[in-house]
Structure formats: structure tokens, C-alpha cells
Structure 1
């Protein structure tokens, strides 16, 4: 049956019910032969300044149900949830999962935490499972170019329609949820509906009180530990390590990249006494591959190496000039990234830099200063990342030419006589550049290269 719940307005009834094969006799939609024709012909209704969007439909035996979102739009609701800020704790998420029927239990969930490298490692795990024939969901944050990429289904960002349907189910719970909690819950709902075999979950911040900790999982992995978010996770690296190790569950395997320091290792063992540690070295990408291999083999799963595309992580755009993007966004990540970037710098290059607020900006900038001293760029371009969780920093303590927007900065850089533009220091800045240059399609954001 077609059911609409909309305010009564002239010439449109508040509720319409009919068999899908019947003619819609109620004005103003009587011109359509059936409910299906109506759906195709009117994806959006506008009457007397009020907007109604068809949310979706499902077949119930030989009936069709259409559910209209009232003047309220789930994307607006999601956007407004950002005003709640961050809320650490599991109560709301657990309540939501119970109301949703525990979608996490319908898939084999894997939980990944860490200061750096967790997104890249999640991508390697997901890709390895994909090439071995599994259906794989992936939840990561933040998004680089658009919100749908937080949820990948078999390697590709979720479709806007599928995302909206999942959001609607979360909205209907009528719980006071944060943006992160909503998108996390939507990932579980959508991936359960799509019948994923595995669901890879990347923590947002820390571990112990992160919403992802509410899911039931079959394995946990910690990729790295560094001093970060000290105001939330603690003012020593041991306290940070303890918070991340608290993703451990009793009886569930947990693998930790060895931090190389006994005090950190002991702090983690207090939270995860059954943890296994593994020594991993090499480039950021090679570490992610090695961790994915060790983790999957710990769980009795096959690891098959494959080329993985992970946006804004040592990503090169083959253009004129070439563009290298790396989203290192904390001191430890920047130190490692710069070590890999320097050998790739040509004689003629320019730096496009913009940062979100840092706990210690000088420590964050130190590797950048070393890089520009060792291999001076033709020019340093400074700008403010757009659309991030926090406002971009305007008064950066770095000598360079200021541009009010990333668009102005990249436009200027592309006209320079250089062989490479390096974009670094912010996930959001890298995302801005990818959007500006049009590298934000589903294929661009897919984990695996698409057949040409």
C-alpha cells in the first residue's frame, strides 16, 4: 500500500492508500497511472512552499509503501547534529543498537584504533577481504571529500539514496545523537541491509568511550600510539595508550603494533592482558599492509596483497604539474610523512599548507621546516582548510603567501613553473583540493582501481 503522512493542504489528502496497480484518483496526482509511475514522475513534491521528499519504498507482498519525509530533511538533521559537538560515551549508541535490532551482530565486525595509520590499515584489511570474495563494509572518519565516503560498501562510497534510507532509520529512533554516532549507526544499518559478510570499524577518537566500542566484534587491532588529544585522552603517552587499548573485549583476539617502549606496553596490557604485540617497520603504506596481513592471519583469514587506493595518503594526481597529497595531521604523522616525501621532491616544487588547530603547532611544523630547509620550495602557499570539524588556522607561524581559500591557492599553484605541488597538513585541505579538481567521484574514492 502507498502511505503518505503529510499535512493536509488544498487538493491533496493527508493520507492516500491504494493498491499499487490502482489508479491514483486523488488530485493533484491523478494524472499518474499507478503508484510506481507517481514515484518516477514526482521524486520531489512542492506545494504551497512546503517541500516533501519521497524517502524510499519497499515491496510488501504485492503492495508498495512510500514514506514521505515531512518538511524535515534527514540531511538537514544530520548537519544540525554537528552543533552537539563531541560526546564520548557508549550509552546512547548501545541504546540505538538495541532499538535497531543489533545490526552489528549480523556481520563479522573488526575494530581498529590507533593514533596514525588506522584508516590506511582499515583500507588494506577491507581490500584484502574483497579480493578473496567477501562482501565488505567499511566505516571510517572523517570524510575527505563528501560524507558518503565514511561508509564504503564493497570498496565504494555508499549511494546517497542508500545513505538517506539508513539516516531515516536513525532519525526515527528520536535519540539525542552526535554526528559521529549517527554516521556510525547508519554504517551498520546500511551494511546489514546490503548483507555484508565483514564490517571494518575505525575508531573516531581514543577507544574506551568511542561510539564504535559499542559494536560486538570478532577482532581488534591497534596500529600506533602517540601523544594526541591530551585534553581528552590524557597528558602522557601511557594514558593515551591505555585509552586505545580499552577497545579490547574479553575473549576477543587483539593485535597491537609494538610501541617499542616498556611503559607503554605495560599500560596497554593492563587493559588488554591477552594482547599480542607485533613489530612492524617500513613506509606508512607497507606498515598498513603488514598489519593487515598479521591481523587477518591471527583471525584465521587469508591475506592477499592488492593495490589499494586510499585518498589523501601519499596520493599522486598525474596532472601538469603533478600534485602529491598527504593528510598527515599530527606531529608524529607529519614526521613519518616528511621522511617519505623528501626523496620524492623534484628540484622545482611548491608547498600548499593549511592546518586545523594543533595542541603544539611548533612541534607539528618542525618536520615541515626541516623539509623546506633541506629542499627549498619555489614558493610556500598558505591557506585555511574549509568544512572541517574545527576552523582552519589563519595566522600560521610559517613564512609564505596567504590565500583566503584553497581554491585560490591551488589555482595560483597550477600556474607556477614547478613540477610538483605538495598539499599536506590537513585531511580537510586535501579533501578541498580533491573536490576543487574533480577527483571526488565514486571511482576516485574507490579502494580498488576500476576496470577501464
Structure 2
């Protein structure tokens, strides 16, 4: 049984709001990556991850969509389902869901108060994972969909017990400074999330699939792919999520559900939605497409899904491969507005000078400028960062 965070039970109404500033200030700086700190946190909390089964979702892109489909499918089967994902778009509690509902912020407040006293040096991601596991235990979750942050074997989610399946979406160049400089190196880190005797499902292709197969053989995991088990990955119709790439994510979700004996949930999985994944808004007679594509592979997929738009609103973080991410999107729209989704963003002035366009540092001002440049009946595409997507999405919901 998981440890109680406070002797008084749930935080009463009117209690202080969570100290998000303290939580966001916890970083990975100064320690090696891996599951050790997360495991220690979970042990401190009474090993709550042993009370529910976990489906780990790893990969370069498509994890969030796959998690959303898995959650919908498992809920449709009548299970008590948890979901842990990152990052959030608008509110922190999007990261931890039970029964399809975001975590109550009062529970975040209670956990932060505990963490400040008991784990003051722990990193943000590990703390959030621990909060999720503790909440799932308290809520009687039977099975949880757990999205890796960065990598597989080197990620904090590697600490989880009772993993019943590992779903690997794909492996492409991203986080190269952490995971490796080649697709093979990155695929190896992600594939090593595999567990002996546990199904490892993947829709990866090419050298990423080759490396995944090698790891599965080394570990003793049961590798399942569209080639080896076509019926398992077959879809009765396309998913509700837009873009040809979502069919691959849907196939992975469907195969995972069937492998778990929950094939009855496939139809609900195909009907799932997920914000900022080619999400469409109608604004002032214009179409706004909001997508969180933030690395070269995701941007290339997005450009295939949206080959033409009138205006591109783009901003990304400087630690990303900006040139390679932006390259496939430049041909999509002749007019570009560049902005800064955060303090560590690539300077929009540099992007405007180098690639041609307008620099508007404030994302909200940039959105207004981009809308003004988009003709009536035209299309504005927003991409480059999930942080930008979240800011724009919130503004559009407020009617800008």
C-alpha cells in the first residue's frame, strides 16, 4: 500500500494552490539520467507502482497520441485507467489522469508539500512520475498508460514495476546530446525499455526496427510488428486524429490493446482525440491548424499532412535542431511569423533574418500578427513547440 502524504487525508477546499514555481525549478542538472532517483522516490512512497499494471509508451514521436488512444480503449473496456504523459499544454494536471479526468490540483499541492520535506533535490520529471504512481494507487487504478520522457532504458519510467507491455512508436534524431548521435543509438536506448517475456510492440521501420529486433532478442522480449503479426496491427478504419501518420500510432495502440486481451476497446481508441495534434480551429473566417511538431521527423510528417498553408507561425527551443525542424515547413507557407515560446527559445529575429519572415517575440502578439496576415478563407499553421501550441491553443479558446 502506498504511503499517505499527509495525516489529515485529502486537502480541504480553500487550501493553498500548488507551489508550481518550486516544482518547475526542480531540474535534472547535476545528475546522471536513469531510473535510480525515480525508484528511490517510489520506494519512499511505499512502492505504489506495484499496485497497478503499466503499459510503457516510448519513441521519438507519436507517444502522446498513442497514449490517448490506449487510454480511450482501456476505458471502454470498463477498466480503472491511469495516464501519465508529458509535457502539458495548458495545465500541469494534464500530465496525470485517472478515469479520463485530470488530477485535482489540491492533490498536487499535497504532494508538493510532501516533496519539499522529503525529496527536495529530486528532479521535476521524477517527482511528477512519483505523483502519478501515488495517485493511481490511491485511486485504485488497474492499468496505467505511462509515457516515457526521453529515451527508454535511460528514462525515469524504467523504474516502474509490473510492466505488461512496451509500445515503441518510432526512433528518429532527437535529443541526440543525450541518447546518441545516430538513429541506431537512439533506437537502442528506446528499445531497451523491453522486459524479458513482456511483449514489445513497434511500428518502427528501417534501421530503427533492425536495432529493436536485436535488443528484443538480447533481452528475451516478445517482439510484435506489423510484418510479423499483421492481423494484430490491422485497423477497421482510419483514426479520428488527423494525418496519415496517425494510422501508424493507431495501429500500435490497437495491437497493444489486442495483445492485452482488450481488443473490444479498439473502436474507442480509434475515436480518441488529443489536443495540438493537427487540431483545427475556425477563427475569424480562417482555419488555424495547431500542431506540436518540434523535431525534424515530426516536422517532416506534418509537412506531408499539410502540404500547403498561407502562413506559418513557428517558434522552438534553442536546444532543438532548428534548421532541420524548420526545413520541411518552409515550403508549406510563403509567409512566416517567428516567435519565442519560452526563455530558451531560438531568437525569432535570427530566424526571420535567416529564413525570411516577421519576428514577433511575444507568442500572443505573434498569433495576432499571423492571423492578420492570413487571408479570409486561408490557413494558418502553428508548429515548432508544444509550449507554443499550448499558448496558442489557450488564446484560441479565449477567442484570441
Distance in 2 (CA, whole Å) between partners of 1:413 and 1:256 is 38
Aligned to 1:115: 60
Is 1:325 the counterpart of 2:290? The answer is yes
Q: Does the 8 Å CA contact 2:197/2:220 hold for their aligned counterparts?
A: no
Give the superposition deviation at 1:263.
4.3
**CA displacement at 1:73 relative to structure 2:** 6.7
Deviation per CA, 1:78-98, whole angstroms, max 9, x where unpaired?
A: 132148477512222111111
Q: 1:110 to 1:439 in 2, by over 3 A?
A: farther
**Distance change in 2, residues 1:57/1:75 (3 Å):** farther
What displacement does 1:240 show? 0.9
Counterpart position of 1:58? 9
Cα distance, 1:270 vs structure 2: 5.2
Are 1:224 and 2:170 counterparts? Answer: yes
Deviations 1:22-42 (A, max 9, x none): xxxxxxxxxxxxxxxxxxxxx
RMSD, aligned CA: 2.9
Change (3 A) 1:154 1:392: farther
Q: How far apart, CA to CA, are the structure 2 residues paired with 1:110 and 1:81? A: 26
1-side partners of 2:273 and 2:107: how far apart? 23
Aligned equivalents of 1:175 and 1:301: distance in 2? 40
Question: What SS does the corresponding residue of 1:254 show, helix, strand or coil?
Answer: strand
Corresponding residue SS for 2:317: coil
Distance 2:320 2:368 in 1: 30
Structure with bigger gyration radius: 1
Change (3 A) 1:151 1:409: same
Greater relative contact order structure (CA < 8 Å, 6+ sep): 2
Shift of 1:191: 1.9
Q: Secondary structure at the match of 2:390?
A: helix
Cα distance, 1:359 vs structure 2: 5.1
Residue number among 79, 82, 105 corresponding to 2:24 in the alignment: 79
* Range 231-240 or range 260-269, more displaced: 260-269
Distance in 2 of aligned mates of 1:366 and 1:97: 42
Larger helix share, 1 or 2 = 2
What is the Cα deviation at residue 174 of structure 1?
A: 2.9
Q: Could you tell me which residue of structure 1 aligns to residue 152 of structure 2?
A: 207
Question: Is the contact between residue 238 and residue 267 of structure 1 (CA under 8 Å) also seen in structure 2?
Answer: no
Aligned position for 1:399: 356
2:35 maps to 1:90: yes
- Summarize deviations over 1:183-217 as a string: whole Å, max 9, x none: 11111111221222221110000111211110111
Equivalent residue in structure 2 for 1:255, among 187, 190, 201: 201
Specify whether residues 144 and 392 from structure 1 end up closer, same or farther in structure 2 by C-alpha distance, changes over 3 A only.
farther
Distance 1:277 1:251, change over 3 A: closer
Answer yes or no: is 1:145 the counterpart of 2:86.
no
- Any residues of structure 2 matched to 1:170-209 within 5 Å, and which? 170-174=115-119, 176-209=121-154
CA–CA distance in 2 between the matches of 1:425 and 1:74? Answer: 29
State the distance in 2 between where 1:252 and 1:319 align.
47
Change (3 A) 1:249 1:169: farther
Structure 1 residue 271: Cα displacement: 4.8
Aligned to 1:337: 302
- Normalising by structure 1, we get a TM-score of 0.75
Aligned length, in residue pairs: 369
> Structure 2: any 5+ residue segments left out of the alignment?
1-5, 227-232, 235-242
